[in-house]
Amino acid sequence: MLWSDPRDEPSQEAREVLRRLRRTALVLALLVLAGAALVLV
C-alpha cells in the first residue's frame, strides 16, 4: 500500500465480493419479480 493511497479504499478482494453480491441481489430481485408476475397472472 502506497502512502498516497486513500486509507478508506476497500481492497481488490472486497470490491470483487461487493460486485458479486450486487449481481446476486439483482438476479434474485429479477427472479422474485418474475415469480410474482407468474403468481398474479
pLDDT computed for residue 15 by the predictor: 94
pLDDT computed for residue 2 by the predictor: 60
CA angle, corner 35, sides to 30 and 36, nearest 5? Answer: 100
Contacts 24+ apart (CB under 8 A), 20-23: none
Considering the chain, what is the average pLDDT of its residues? 89
CB 18 within 8 A of CB 10: yes
Q: How far apart are CA 30 and CA 16, in angstroms?
A: 21
Q: How far apart are CA 29 and CA 13, in angstroms?
A: 24
pLDDT in tens, 10-25: 889 999 999 999 999 9
